[in-house]
Structure 1
Amino acid sequence: MNKVYKGDFGHIFYQRKNAVIRTTIMGCIILVLFIAGLIIAGSNKNIFSIVAALGCLPMGWSVINLIMYYRAVPLTQSSYDKIKDHAGSLYVIYDLSLTSEKSTFNVGAITVLGKNIAGFTEDENTDIQDCQDHIKHQISLSKYHDYSIKIYRNVDDFCKRLDELEKLRKDHNIDPKELESLWTPGTIQTVPGILKSISL
C-alpha cells in the first residue's frame, strides 16, 4: 500500500486502513500475551498479563485514532475529478479534517493564493461560518491577517472560484507549488502548511 501524505487526495481512506490494521495487530498481540500468561502461570498474575495490560494504552490511542478517521468526511472521487480539471497550477490540499474545541470541520479541498483562501466541503454538518472563522483564527496565530476566506458547499461554485484564482495566478506569474516547496523548517509556516498541521 503506497503511502498517501497529508494533503493528498485519499489521505483519510489511507489512514483508516492503517488504523484498522494497527488496532487489529495490537489487539491480537495483547490477547495472545494474556492467554499465554494464563496457560503458563495458571492465573492472570504474571508478567505476560502486565505486558498485555500496558499494551492496552497504545491500543486505546489507536482505537480513538480509528474512530476519528471514520468520523472524518473524505472528498468523493467525482468531486476530486472535477476539482482537478479546474485546479490548473494552483496548490490544492485535499481531505482535511480541522479540529477545534467545539467542532470538527471537514474540508474536502482548499487552496491558497495570495491572500485568498477558497475551500470546498461535502460535509452537510459543517458550519461554514464557524469553519471560516476557525481558519481565520488559526492563521492569525502566525501573524497572517486580512485574508479572504470562502468555503463552498457546491463543487461547481468552487470550481468557478478555482478558475478565477488560476487566471489571477497566471496574470501575476505566481507558482504556489514552488513557494510551498521553498519553505524552510524552523521558519514561520506558510498558510497551506498551517492548514495541514492543524488537520487530523
Structure 2
Amino acid sequence: MKRSIGAKTLAYPTPAWLVGTYDMFGKANAMTAAWGGICCSDPPCISVSLRKATYSYANIMEKEAFTISIPSEDYVKETDYFGIASGKDTDKFEKMGLTPVKSDLVYAPYVDEFPVVLECKLIHSFELGLHTQFIGEIIDVKAEGSVLDENGNPDIEKIKPIIYSPQREYYGVGKPLGKAFSIGIDK
C-alpha cells in the first residue's frame, strides 16, 4: 500500500546540466541545474527552471539566450562545483579548469569538455513561485563524434550523463530495458 509523503520536488530522473550564460560584461558563467527537460518537439524546445537569486537568471533575462551543456560522469565533481559557487564571486571555468566556448548561434557560452551541448534562444519565461521557468528554442545541438552512434545520433551509453537525485546524490545511467514504441506492442 502506498503512503502519502507530502508535496515534494520528486521526479525521477532529473538531469544535472550546466546552463551557460554571459553576464552584462561578457564574462562566461554557468550553473548546475536539475529542474528541466524537453518540453516541445516542434519547434524543438527545452525548459529549465532557476531561482531569481541566481546570477544566471539575470543573465538569461538580459541576453535572452542560454546553452545547456550535458556533462559526462567524468565531470561529476566539476558539475557539483558549478552548482555550489556563484559566478558573481568567482570564475568557475578557471577554477575548475574547464573551457568556455562562445556559441556561434546564440549569445551564451558552453563547456567545451562536455560531450553534448544545446544552444538555445529564450522564447518564454514563466514565474512559478520560487523559480522561473525558461523555455528555450533549441537552435542547434553539438555533439562530440565519439558519443555518436552509427546513425549520427547521440548515444546515451557513450555520453554517460549525470542524473541528479532529490536526495542530493548523483547517479549514472543504467542498462537499457527495451526499445521505446515497440516493447509494449508485444504485450
Q: Into which bin does the TM-score normalised by the smaller protein fall?
A: under 0.3
Hey, which of these two has a bigger chunk of strand by percent?
Answer: 2
TM-score, normalised relative to structure 1: 0.26
Q: Give 1 or 2 for the bigger CA radius of gyration.
A: 1
Hey, which of these two has a bigger chunk of helix by percent?
Answer: 1
Higher relative contact order (CA 8 A, sep 6+): 2
TM-score, normalised relative to structure 2: 0.27
